[in-house]
Amino acid sequence: MTKSKAQQLVDSTAFKAFVKRRWLYSLLMAALMLAAYFTFIIIIAFNKAIFAIKIAPSLTVGIVAGLGIIIFAWLMTGIYVTWANKYYDADVALLKSKL
Amino acid sequence: MTEFHTSLGETNYLAIAIFFVFVGITLYITYWAARKTKTTSEFYAAGRSVTGFQNGMALAGDYMSAASFLGIAGMVAMKGYDGLIYSIGFLVGWPLIMFLIAEPLRNLGKYTFADVVAYRLKQKPVRIAAATGSLMTITFYLIAQMVGAGSLIKVLFNLPYEAAVILVGIVMTCYVLFGGMLATTWVQIIKAILLLGGATVIVILTLSKFGFNPLNLFEQAATMYGEGVLSPGGYISNPWDAISLGLALMLGTAGLPHILMRFYTVPDAKAARKSVFVATGFIGYFYILTFIIGFGAMVIVGQDVISGKIGGVGDKGGNMAALLLAEATGGTAFLGFIAAVAFATILAVVAGLTLSGASTISHDLYVNVIKKGISNERGEVQVAKAATIALGILSVILGLLFKGQNVAFMVGLAFAIAASANFPALLLSILWNKFTTAGATAGIIVGTGLAVILIILSPTVWVDLFKNAEAIYPLKNPAIISMPASFITAIIVSLLTPEPESERKFEGEKLRTYLGVGSE
């Protein structure tokens, strides 16, 4: 019995590679975010003196790091959206056209 | 600062007036929305007519509660840098939502996240478990908000606590009952604009006193209260507690039902992505503002006033810091505006929680469990509205019941349950083909149960509330145990109870998960 178009698409190597790419990218981004945040927390828990170091009068490493993580988090979402709009959506359109 | 006067605690007519204007405008919007809210799609999801940008603002609005505005500003004012550590925890969950959850959630579900978890599994047990996790999260969050509302309004408007709670209950029930998701979305957007706008003005006025250079503000703070305020203090004393709290905040955000529900108001996954980007930006900006506001209050108002040592309007948590700073920089009129905005914030958040609860009761429980998936449109909307009224009444009763209690731990508990029950189930159902009905149900039950039990045994409840000598569970947050336990339980039980049918459906589901084919 021939497979339906949908089933063929799911089984195709193109689709499988697409799913793999998507998760590779997402999990990498997630890992980066988790690493950044938990590094921040671990430093505070075990060696907070690092964050007390001053790089300018009244500007501590901690303040730079803290505000930096906030901006980093936002930039990460922006990078993801840019990638998705450019590459992921193109892949989606291509695969959908096979249905 | 030897002389101290504030109008906080006296009736502020300007605040009341501004507040009534806000209520008037939002009730008008509710009336407008009501005429467009007849079907389930409109009641639950605003007819999927919300744009990515608007949803981003609504999500940010839903997330920036009065508790976070006042609480975080207060924490920075009293403890300096530590307040920033706390706020960062709340922010970093959003990128994770973007990477792991947002698009599959939108593609697979219809109105609630339980749609996603129950997608290819046996509906009844999974719906009941997911609904239980949702309703518990919502209830604890709601209690914390209602009690906070009562005490805040008492201070701001000089109303009796009971009147404040009843007023909040009635107004927010109206928003949800008549206007559904469309009304609550716009209420959140307006409130987000007012809150961010107001906070920005406070920061501008504050920095103007320091030559628009925040470093001068920090320098003054360090001079007055010591260098310690500019770097981490004693907030993270126990690294395990910090990790546990971090897990709860990061992953709990991805399990909050009233947040996840908003993803169904946008037309597709692409808009869902944009929403998270916009929301993260606004929320991040908000936490930068609260950081400056906290320091501003510390320097201009002074910790003694904020904590209540002088003047008697403060409290140990420093919750009056932002309001006192608004008054110090902008006068009584500006205080009135910020107070009205704080009240509006509470209204908006409890409305969102109530809508989420009502949709869980009607869409998950009534339609999918009692009616076995057959939905009569009008019947479902009617049940949703009845549930709204019931939840409105319940929230008032709970607010009155918990008067005077220290309920701050309930927000932590809500996040812990969201992280331990909702998030694991959601992630596994998206990622894993061998996830089964029994696994889902067991995971949610174990996650919820452990989170609640461990919080009861933790210092905040066992010692502070029940007055025992020492806590049985040493950390303040259960997530580090309850979340992994939920995952492990779900995985082991799933492996022990294979469901070939569900496994087979996982493959077919992929077109919908990743390409959006057939999504609603």
Other Cβ atoms less than 10 A from the Cβ of A61: the count is 18
Q: What is the band of B2 on the pLDDT scale with cuts at 50, 70, 90?
A: very low
Find the range with the poorest average confidence among B198-202, B234-238, B276-280.
B234-238
Supply the pLDDT for residue A2.
Answer: 67
Residue B319 counted as domain residue: yes
Q: Which of A44, A59, A70 sits opposite B218 (nearest CB)?
A: A59
Three-state secondary structure call for residue B395: helix
B436 domain residue, yes or no: no
CA distance B257 to B262: 9
If one counts the domains in chain B, the total is 1
* Residue A79 forms contact with B (CB below 8 Å): no
Of B216, B222, B284, the CB nearest to A70: B284
> Locate tokens 């320097």: which residue?
B299
Q: How far is A20 from chain B (nearest CA, A)?
A: 11
pLDDT tens, residue by residue, B140-158: 999 988 988 888 887 777 7
Which residue does chain B place closest to A69, by CA atoms? B88
Closest CA to B427 of B113, B140, B168: B113
CB contact set of A5 (below 8 Å; sequence gap of 6+) = A98, A99
Count contacts between A and B (CB, < 8 Å): 147
* pLDDT at B60 > cutoff 70: yes
| Spatial CA neighbour of B9 closest among B315, B268, B316, B402 | B315
Q: What is the ipTM of this complex?
A: 0.94
- The CB density around residue A79, as the number of other CB atoms within 10 Å, is 14
Which tokens go with B301? Answer: 């108002």
Q: Which two tokens stand for residue B105?
A: 């959630």
Between the CA of residue B260 and those of A37, A65, B180, B220, B265, what are the distances in Å? Answer: 23, 30, 16, 42, 10
Chain A residue numbers with beta carbons less than 8 Å from the beta carbon of B246 are 37-38, 41
Other beta carbons within 10 angstroms of residue B418's beta carbon come to 35
What does the alpha-carbon distance between residue B381 and residue A87 come to, in Å, rounded to a whole number? 40
For A1-99, where are the alpha helices, taking DSSP H only? 5-11, 13-47, 49-52, 61-83, 89-96
Q: A residues 8-47 near B, CB within 8 Å?
A: 9-10, 15, 18-19, 22, 26-27, 29-30, 33-34, 36-38, 40-42, 44-46
Share of chain B above pLDDT 90, in %: 52
Least CB–CB distance from A56: residue in B89, B215, B246? B215
Specify the pLDDT at position B1: 41
Which DSSP state fits B263? G
pLDDT at B350 over 50: yes
pLDDT tens profile B421-438: 999 999 999 989 999 999
Of B215, B232, B508, the CB nearest to A57: B215
Q: Partners of B8 in the beta sheet?
A: B10
The answer to whether A76 contacts B95, with C-beta atoms less than 8 Å apart, is yes
Residue B53 lies in a domain: yes
Tell whether B500 is covered by a domain: no
Residue ranges making up the domain that contains B168: 22-403
pLDDT at A66 (0 to 100): 95
Quote the CA–CA distance of B149 and B143 in Å, as a whole number: 10
Q: How confident is the model at residue B4 (pLDDT cuts 50, 70, 90)?
A: low
Q: Work out the percent of chain A whose per-residue pLDDT is above 70.
A: 98
pLDDT for the residue numbered B188 = 92
Given a cut of 60, whether residue B222 has pLDDT beyond it is yes
pLDDT top residue among B236 and B385: B385
In a domain, B501, yes or no: no
Mean pLDDT, range B301-315, rounded to an integer: 81
Residues B95-105 have a mean pLDDT of 93
Q: What is the mean pLDDT of residues B295-318?
A: 84
Using the beta-carbon criterion (under 8 Å), do B81 and A80 form an inter-chain contact?
no
Asked whether B213 and B64 are in contact (CB, 8 A), the reply is no
Q: Which chain A residues are Cβ-neighbours of B475 within 8 angstroms?
A: none
Facing A81 at nearest CB: one of B96, B274, B517: B274
Lowest mean pLDDT among A86-90, B2-6, B214-218, B387-391: B2-6
| CB contact A64 to B (< 8 Å) | no
For B162-197, give one letter per residue: b (16+ CB within 10 A) or e: eebbbbbbebbbbbbbbbbbbbbbbbbbbbbebbbe
> According to the model, what pLDDT value does residue B241 have?
86
pLDDT value of position A1: 56
* A65 and chain B in contact, CB less than 8 A: no
pLDDT at A95 over 70: yes
Greater confidence (B84 vs B406) lies with B84
Element (H, E) at A60: strand A59-60
Is residue B8 classed as helix, strand or coil in its secondary structure?
strand
> Among B367-371, B372-376, B410-414, B476-480, which is the least confidently predicted range?
B372-376
Within a domain: B447: no
Picking from A58, A61, A81, A92 by the largest number of B CB atoms within 10 A of its own CB, the best residue to mutate is A58
Domain-located, residue B361: yes
pLDDT digits (tens, 9 = 90+) for A8-44: 888 889 999 999 999 999 999 999 999 999 999 989 8
Mean pLDDT of chain B: 89
Residue B185 lies in a domain: yes
Residue in A with minimal Cα distance to B83? A66
CATH of the domain at B177: 1.20.1730.10
pLDDT tens digits, one per residue of B24-54: 898 888 888 888 888 888 888 998 999 999 9
What pLDDT, on a 0 to 100 scale, did the predictor assign at position B336?
86
